[in-house]
Amino acid sequence: MKYNIDKSFGIFRYFKVPFNSLIFKLAKILIILPKHLKSKKLSVNKIKIDKTINYLLIPKKSQKLPCLIYFPGGGFVFPAAPYHYKNIKEYSLKANICVFMINYKTNKPLSYILNETNKILNTFLNNLDSYNINKDMLYLGGDSAGGLLALNFIDNSFKKLLLIYPVIDKQKTPSKIKHIDTPMWNSKVNSKMWNKILDIDFLSPIDTFNYDKYPLTYIETCEFDPLHDEAIMLANKLKDKVIINNTKGTMHGYDIVRNSKITKESLITRIEFLKK
């Protein structure tokens, strides 16, 4: 094998994401997910905003809790997958926090996605009194494409930022040049994503970086990921405000395989960050 990806990821060590309109449409039809949120220890609330069903998880029998507002990844073209729902359920239960996952519409131009997520986020924030949430303990987070969306809204009102192998920048980096055929996600597919969704002048969080507006930030990278270096670029700017988890033997989206020891260890690390 060209890349020394851990064997615990099984067939996903070889899986290449198909990137075409038919696959995007099929994904929306085939992925039926909220069943993964069921738990006797959680209250699962459907919140409809702008014709979009979002999910708010609230641990039962708790006082007002911190809330993680989470944007799932999917290259801006795929909806949230089963492992996204399983992950946020685990964050909520084990970190004892509320989690609000924004199910933005996918396969749309970036300007549309940014406008929609802005409306959903602001509507939710304006109605926090309706939920069991500590308004002084709000966190933002996202994986992959969802990481870029989280970064778009970061300001001093958020106390933590959770970024899992995030999309951050369009520019070429050594990891993009090197990882042209990695499984799950590679620089060729990454370029197709940008070509498909980009309809506005784009300034990345690197271009617009303002140290003062960032809270304590957790950044997780994958060893064999074209996005690796842009995450490190942001981490270097954050200096003393960042906790970095550079996972080894991993490819982008590796936590889709939940029985991997590496995935289990990373979930524990993320949860510990959310609990502190």
Enumerate the domain spans of the chain.
7-275
Question: Considering only the top CATH level, what class is 7-275?
Answer: alpha beta
Looking at residue 132, what is its pLDDT?
A: 82
Question: By CB neighbour count within 10 A (0-12 exposed, 13-18 middle, 19+ buried), where does 32 fall?
Answer: exposed
pLDDT tens per residue, the chain (276 residues)? 689 999 999 999 999 888 877 777 776 665 655 566 778 899 999 999 988 899 999 999 778 999 999 999 999 999 999 999 999 999 999 999 999 999 999 999 999 999 999 999 999 999 998 888 999 999 999 999 999 999 999 999 999 999 999 999 999 999 999 999 999 999 999 999 999 999 999 999 999 999 999 999 999 999 999 999 999 999 999 999 999 999 999 999 999 999 999 999 999 999 999 998
> Do residues 71 and 106 touch, judged by C-beta distance below 8 A?
no
Q: What is the dihedral of CA 254, 86, 271, 101, to 10 degrees?
A: 100
Looking at residue 38, what is its pLDDT?
A: 76
